[in-house]
Amino acid sequence: MKKALLFVCFALILALPVFSQESVQVVRDVQENAVAGDVISVQINVYNPYSDERIFSIEEKLPNGIQMIEPSEPHETRLFNGIKASFLKWEETISPRSVASFNYKMRLLSSGYYSLSPTTVIDSATLTKFQGSPVSISVSCVPDNKCGENENYLNCGQDCKPDAADGVCNPGPNLCDPDCEGGEKCDKGGIDISIWYIIIPISLIGIAFFVFKFKRDKGSGIKPSQLPQEESSEETVYN
- pLDDT, residue 6, reads 38
Collapsing DSSP states into helix, strand and coil, what is residue 162? coil
Q: Which of 176, 186, 156, 180 is nearest to 167 (CA)?
A: 180
Long-range Cβ contacts of 145-154 (<8 Å, 24+ apart) = 149/110, 150/65, 150/110, 150/111, 150/112, 151/110, 151/111, 151/112
Per-residue model confidence as pLDDT tens digits over 69-82: 999 999 999 998 88
Give residue limits of the domains in the chain: 23-160, 165-201
What is the CATH number assigned to the segment(s) 23-160?
2.60.40.10
Distance (Å, whole) CA 234 – CA 239: 16
Q: What is the model's pLDDT at position 175?
A: 80
Res 188: pLDDT:
52
Task: Note the pLDDT of residue 8.
Answer: 45
Q: State the burial class of residue 145 (Cβ atoms within 10 Å of its Cβ: 0-12, 13-18, 19+).
A: exposed
What does the DSSP assignment read for 3-45? HHHHHHHHHHHHHHHHHHPPPPEEEEE--SEEETT-EEEEEEE
Distance, in Å, from the CA atom of 10 to the CA atom of 54, rounded to the nearest integer, reads 30
- Residue 158, SS3 per DSSP: coil
Residue 16: the pLDDT is 40
What is the pLDDT, as a whole number, of residue 226? 53
Best CA proximity match to 102, nearest among 134, 137, 72, 57: 57
The segments of the chain whose pLDDT lies below 50 read: 2-20, 189-191, 233, 236, 239
Q: How far apart are CA 176 and CA 183, in angstroms?
A: 7
pLDDT of residue 165: 85
